[in-house]
């Protein structure tokens, strides 16, 4: 299966990804499609999961997910419950948050606990050593429980627009490696 045949969907986290976020830039540069959610400010796990299920179910072929922050937690939850999870060939999971810890447990009610079942597709977790929303040890533990590869990105904050990554070619290279390993 050629890389062109995989449909790549981005899954932003809480509040979406703004114009300078690497996900938004990748959408423009690589023709990736964002999974739009009804409410970026007050995310409901069930609503977000239903929307992802609809998008993956309607996809024309194999799917690759590129998730950031709460999008990582969404991916794990959705994959544990969806009949469409087999359509996903790979997932790049960047900066998963620890939704069980303050302040996120108060802001993002209903997202904990995080699904910890092994993912049925190739996955890689990329995490920062100084992410204010998740320790490196917790990100590594999530990767282990999901059966995903793990990469310590060093001190990049929450790996978002404030991290000043621009087009983030290193992240895109990690996505290409993951897709090649998954055969898409």
Give the CATH number for residue 71.
3.40.50.1820
Q: Which helix (H) or strand (E) holds 63?
A: strand 63-68
Distance CA 64, CA 145 (A): 20
When divided into structural domains, the chain yields a total of 1
Spatial distance between the Cα atoms of 28 and 33, rounded to a whole number of angstroms: 9
Strand partners, 90: 64, 122
Q: Is the pLDDT of residue 3 over 50?
A: no
Residue 4 has pLDDT above 90, yes or no: no
pTM listed for this prediction? 0.96
The continuous run of DSSP H or E covering 22 comes out as helix 22-30
pLDDT tens per residue, range 14-52: 999 999 999 999 999 999 999 999 999 999 999 999 999
Domain containing 30 equals: 3-181
* pLDDT tens track for 90-137: 999 999 999 999 999 999 999 999 999 999 999 999 999 999 999 999
């Amino acid at each position: 299966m050629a890389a062109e045949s995989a449909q790549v969907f981005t899954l932003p986290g809480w509040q979406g990804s703004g114009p300078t976020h690497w996900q938004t830039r990748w959408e423009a540069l690589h023709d990736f499609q964002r999974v739009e959610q009804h409410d970026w400010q007050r995310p409901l796990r069930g609503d977000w999961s239903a929307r992802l299920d609809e998008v993956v179910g309607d996809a024309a072929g194999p799917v690759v997910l590129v998730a950031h922050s709460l999008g990582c937690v969404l991916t794990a939850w959705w994959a544990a419950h969806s009949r469409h999870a087999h359509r996903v060939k790979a997932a790049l999971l960047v900066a998963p948050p620890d939704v069980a810890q303050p302040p996120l447990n108060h802001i993002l009610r209903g997202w904990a606990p995080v699904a910890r079942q092994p993912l049925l597709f190739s996955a890689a977790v990329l995490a920062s050593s100084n992410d204010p929303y998740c320790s490196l040890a917790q990100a590594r533990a999530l990767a282990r429980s999901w059966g995903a590869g793990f990469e310590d990105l060093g001190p990049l904050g929450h790996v978002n627009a404030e991290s000043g990554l621009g087009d983030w070619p290193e992240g895109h290279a990690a996505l290409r490696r993951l897709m090649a390993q998954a055969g898409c």
